[in-house]
Amino acid sequence: MQPHEDLSPPGGARRWSVAVVGAGTTGLALARELRRAGRFAVTVYEARAAAGGNCRTVTVGGLRIDPAVQVLRSPRDRAALDLVAQLGVRLAPVDASTSWVEERGRSWHAAVARPSARDVARMLPMLSGAMRLRAALDAIPPEDDEPLGAALARRGADGAATQSLFYPLCHAFWPFQRDELLDLPAGLVAHHAREHGLLRPWAGAWHRFEDGVADFTSRLIQGLDVRTGVAVRSVRRGPTGVELRTEAGTFGHDLVVLATAPRDALAILTDPSAEEKSALTELVDEPTRIVVHHDASAMPADRRDWATFNHRVHRDGSWSTTVWHNRLRGVGGPDVFATLHPGHRFDAVETLDFRHLRWTPRTRSAQAALLGLQGRRRTWWCGAWLGLGFQEDAVRSAVATASALGVNVRLRAAA
């Protein structure tokens, strides 16, 4: 298979020269598969000083934590788990306990791994509503484009469980406001809930990176031509090749893979087509802040209710999620927390700013439109933002793009 039917293969024994823009997980995983195939000479360009994208490990008081990429979950992450195994990265099981707190006074705790009798008793007030909500979500097919709010109401979902449990869980994954979630396609949200085991806390297995997610990146990058600190300023596509203008000079390639954020990809294309511009404009990523701190006020008032993942509904209706990294990693010492979407100011040890795909009712159609343009004008698209926006979606996208380029990928597809 050739990279695209519109292209002729390089003359003689010359390999395809491929530029990958973006050295996050998806760009590095794709470069690895293309290099392994032997028919591609791959160069990865990264504007930041280090590769890895959101795969950052920080050390706080001797404790290594991964604020943005905390766990992998089976069976959804099959391709990612295969890649981890091939790289020899060590994983460890996670105590995926969860708590929910409403600042109006209610507090629920669910010890996901092995619930005690006390945990089950504390959960009884919410179990009925949660089961009704889960039944409503299970009845929604993936292709259902009805707004989520209408679909849940029509299926008799419990409103209190939706507000107090499901909204905070979803908000821990995606940046959105309450009304925006209700307007999203019901099939998309229900599919997301099933894939991540939301409201199924005892299903599946969770793993963390034993030596930090940075260890995963350092192994993934081995043997690759990755040029960090080299920002791509423009990509000009012509009938015989692609020209990248960077801070380090101008470089020519046969093909380009844009494995960077949609807004960045659009900004560097010198002549985007109307279809590319339309799709990329609809794929919006939002700033996401994670604050690493020692402030126990982010946790339930009763320490016995502290869990690994702690979701809070604030009085103003906003939500936040705090990860207790001591419990996540199974170690003692001073408590270290990482709060996503913090509801108030903490005395931060580290503040990390990321960008995450923001879902709208038009996101799914924009993704499909862009995937329909794969290979045109010597251009390929790759990224977690072509899926649900998570680490496993980054690997899935790399697998799909490598396969489309004719590579026999050794990573399993999604379940």
For residue 414, the model assigns a pLDDT of 47
Indicate whether 277 and 290 sit together in one domain: no
Residue 383 has pLDDT above 70, yes or no: yes
- Give me the chain's average pLDDT, please: 84
Looking at the fold, whether 180 and 329 belong to one and the same domain comes out as yes
Please report how many Cα atoms fall inside a 13 Å half-sphere around the Cα of residue 169, on the Cβ side: 22
**160: confidence class by pLDDT, cuts 50, 70, 90:** confident
- Give the pLDDT of residue 67: 84
405, 413, 397: which is closest to 28 by C-alpha? Answer: 397
pLDDT score recorded for residue 114: 45
Q: What is the greatest pairwise CA distance in the chain?
A: 72
Residues 6+ apart with CB under 8 A from 413: 78, 79, 396, 399
* Token duo for residue 329: 């990693």
In this structure, are 261 and 371 located in the same domain?
yes
Looking at the fold, whether 310 and 276 belong to one and the same domain comes out as: no
Q: Are residues 29 and 110 in the same domain?
A: no
Residues 343 and 205 in one domain: yes
**Per the omega criterion (within 30 degrees of 0), is the bond before 75 cis?**
yes
Residue 10 lies in a domain: no
397 and 370 housed in the same domain: yes
Per-residue pLDDT tens digits for 286-343: 888 899 999 999 998 888 889 888 888 777 777 888 999 999 998 888 999 999 877 7
| SS3 per-residue string spanning the chain | CCCCCCCCCCCCCCCEEEEEECCCHHHHHHHHHHHHHCCEEEEEEECCCCCCCCCCCEEECCEEECCCCCCEEECCCHHHHHHHHHHCCCEEECCCCEEEEECCCCEEEECCCCCCHHHHHHHHHHHHHHHHHHHHHHCCCCCCCCEHHHHHHHCCCCHHHHHHHHHHHHHCCCCCCHHHHHHCEHHHHHHHHHHCCCCCCCCCEEEEECCCHHHHHHHHCCCCEEEECCCEEEEEECCCCEEEEECCEEEEECEEEECCCHHHHHHHECCCCHHHHHHHHHCEEEEEEEEEECCHHHCCCCHHHCCCEEEEECCCCCEEEEEEHHHHHCCCCCCCEEEECCCCCCCCCEEEEEEEEECCCCHHHHHHHHHCCCCHHHEEECCHHHCCCCHHHHHHHHHHHHHHCCCCCCCCCCC
Bridge partners, residue 246, by sequence: 232, 249
Full residue range of the structural domain in which residue 256 is found: 16-56+213-282+360-404
The pTM is what?
A: 0.87
Domain assignment present for 306: yes
Q: What is the Cα–Cα distance from 304 to 68, expressed in whole angstroms? A: 26
Q: What is the dihedral of CA 89, 90, 95, 96, to 10 degrees?
A: 10
Note whether 199 and 229 are same-domain residues: no
Q: Which of 340, 358, 376 is the last residue of a domain?
A: 358
- One domain, residues 271 and 207: no
Same-domain check for residues 178 and 193: yes
Is 86 among the domain residues? no
- Give the model's pLDDT for residue 123: 59
Residues 149, 109 share a domain: yes
Q: Which of 370, 13, 1, 23 is nearest to 231 (CA)?
A: 23
Q: How far apart are CA 308 and CA 197, in angstroms?
A: 16
Q: Is residue 218 part of a domain?
A: yes
Q: How far apart are CA 145 and CA 162, in angstroms?
A: 19
CATH of the domain at 265: 3.50.50.60
In a domain, 412, yes or no: no
Q: Is residue 3 part of a domain?
A: no
Query: Mean per-residue pLDDT for 350-357?
Result: 86
pLDDT at 173 exceeding the cut of 80: no
Q: Is 313 part of a structural domain of the chain? A: yes
pLDDT value, residue 33: 95
- Which amino acid belongs to residue 373? L
Question: Helix 25-37 and helix 391-404: axis angle, to 10°?
Answer: 30
Report how many domains make up the chain. 2
Residue 4 resides in a domain: no
Q: In this structure, are residues 230 and 251 in contact, taking their beta carbons and an 8 Å threshold?
A: no
Q: Is the pLDDT of residue 112 over 90?
A: no
**Contact of 155 with 136, CB cutoff 8 Å:** yes
Q: What is the per-residue pLDDT for 115? A: 52
52 and 197 housed in the same domain? no
Convert the pLDDT of each residue in 387-398 to its tens digit: 888 888 899 999
User: pLDDT digit string (tens) for 36-62?
Assistant: 999 999 999 999 999 998 888 889 888
